[in-house]
Amino acid sequence: MTSTATDSKRAVVVGSSFAGLTAAFELRKHLDRKHEVVVIEPRDHFTFIPSLIWVPFGKRDPEDVTFKLEPVYAKKGIRFINDAAASFDLDNRKVITTGGEEVAYDSLVVATGPKLAFDRIDGLGPENGYTQSVCNLEHAMQTREAWERFLQNPGPVVAGTAQGGSCFGASYEFLLNTHHRIRKAGLEDVAPVTFITAEPFLGHFGLGGVADSQQRVEKYFDKLGIEGIANNVITEVRDGEIELKGGRKLPFAFSMIVPSFAGVDAVSRTEGLGNPAGFIPVNDEFRHEEIENVYAAGVNVAVAPPQQTEVPAGVPKTGQMSEVMAKVAAQNMAADIQGGERREMPMSEMEAICILDGGNTGIIFKADHVLGESEHPRVMSGPQAHWAKIAFEKIFMGSRKLGHPIL
């Protein structure tokens, strides 16, 4: 693809999940029609990752949690390139795809999410190890097979987040759903459940806790008979056994551990784009700290944890936060291209709303500041959390498929 005509500019979005899809819709909304919006994404579909916690238990099938991207973009007048970015030529403002195409841009937003860093722990992960994952659809389907094997041959279960991880909500949700399914299958006596986490205490969530979240989570675990191990470091995973720092060994018949995240290879191999871990440093406009026409949104944005914890634990970047970042970035990209109002959103002011589903109940929490003290934190638990998550899924999927996002 060659450069754009003189008065027409091109905004390019790399990645098309929560952050990328939102950025593309917002750019199309803000930019005059003469300007082009192009999306580069290797998957031909969008996956609603929050519902992947239900896929292993047969509560959702792939078609329930995905939709094809190309028709949605075609309807909106957005060009979709179904390929991955291999690297970025920042000097010449081009994205180089794995297929060898050079896509020129006037403004760029990188929304490539994380690389799942299973390789930081021997034996971790579904590809070269022994634990399961629900971080993408393929992994969730593999976890479904592992769950079916477990039902034939049940035993202890271990769920959690590895050291350096940040996606704590997903591991809590998966834990609670697994416990719910074990109870429904009448396997409680043969399948004790253990939760391991890098958080300094249960209910920390990478945010320092929200209101009385620690007490609530501890009480809930007590009620369900789940052992929770905070400040946890996994030293090695072997077939059917996780070893923790200090030597404790946890046997398992089924285990799902969310890994730590790194930046994707396309960012890491582009000098000057990411930090040493591959995350992109941005200012309050979600513009790269050093590079004028480059923005980033979503999980691939660099956010330093507000406090050091004994075991490294990152700040969670939820889908809802990724969308806020994408909206801010897109508005500023449009302002760069054709003028207009700019927008800033310091991470310290961003709020986080999280619904943790527990199978038939759950916890909803809202922190009014992801970083720092929340003035009006809220935590609520009960069946309404389960129904809220289902409503979130239905409204999100329905509106995005139509190209008219609400929520």
Ligand X SMILES: Cc1cc2nc3c(=O)[nH]c(=O)nc-3n(C[C@H](O)[C@H](O)[C@H](O)COP(=O)(O)OP(=O)(O)OC[C@H]3O[C@@H](n4cnc5c(N)ncnc54)[C@H](O)[C@@H]3O)c2cc1C
CB of 189 to ligand X, least distance (A): 28
For ligand X, the closer of residues 250 and 355 by Cβ is 355
Question: Near ligand X by CB under 6 A, which window of 73-81, 106-114, 187-195, 238-246?
Answer: 106-114
Shortest Cβ distance from residue 377 to ligand X (Å)? 17
Is 85 a binding residue for ligand X by CB under 6 A? The answer is yes
Counting contacts by CB under 6 A, is residue 19 touching ligand X?
yes
Rule CB under 6 A: say whether 50 interacts with ligand X.
yes
CA distances from 293 to 6, 11, 106 (A): 17, 10, 7
Q: Is residue 355 at the binding interface for ligand X, with CB under 6 A as the rule? A: yes
Rounded Cα distance, 366 and 374, in Å: 9
Residue 131 touching ligand X (CB under 6 A): no
Contact 316, 356 (CB under 8 A): no
The footprint of ligand X on this chain (CB under 6 A) covers a number of residues equal to 36
Tell me the C-alpha distance between 39 and 145, whole Å: 33
- Under rule CB under 6 A, residue 55 binds ligand X: no
| Shortest distance in whole angstroms from residue 32 CB to ligand X | 26
To the nearest whole angstrom, how small is the minimum distance from the Cβ of residue 160 to ligand X? 13
Q: How far is the CB of 239 from ligand X (least distance, A)?
A: 24
Q: Which of 11, 12, 13, 14 binds ligand X (CB under 6 A)?
A: 14
Instruction: Say which of 81, 193, 354, 355 is annotated catalytic.
Output: 354
Query: Candidates 74-82, 164-172, 206-214, 285-293 — which segment interacts with ligand X by CB under 6 A?
Result: 164-172
Pairing of the two strands 261-263 and 114-116: antiparallel
Please confirm, yes or no, whether 354 is among the known catalytic residues.
Answer: yes
x/- string (CB under 6 A) for ligand X, residues 263-282? -x-x----------------
The answer to whether the CB of 80 falls within 8 A of the CB of 45 is no
Are 201 and 309 in contact by the 8 Å Cβ rule? The answer is no
Annotated catalytic residue 167: yes
Cβ proximity to ligand X, 243 vs 401, nearer residue: 401
Task: Show the binding pattern over residues 191-230: x = contacts ligand X (CB under 6 A), - = does not.
Answer: ----------------------------------------
- Please report whether residue 112 would count as binding ligand X according to CB under 6 A: yes
Comparing CB distances to ligand X, the nearer of 17 and 260 is: 17
Rounded-to-integer distance, Cα 171 and Cα 205, Å? 10
Place of tokens 């994952």: 133
Q: Annotated catalytic sites, by residue?
A: 167, 354
List of residues contacting ligand X (CB under 6 A) = 14-20, 40-43, 49-50, 52-53, 84-85, 111-114, 134-135, 167, 169-170, 264, 266, 298-299, 317-320, 322, 355
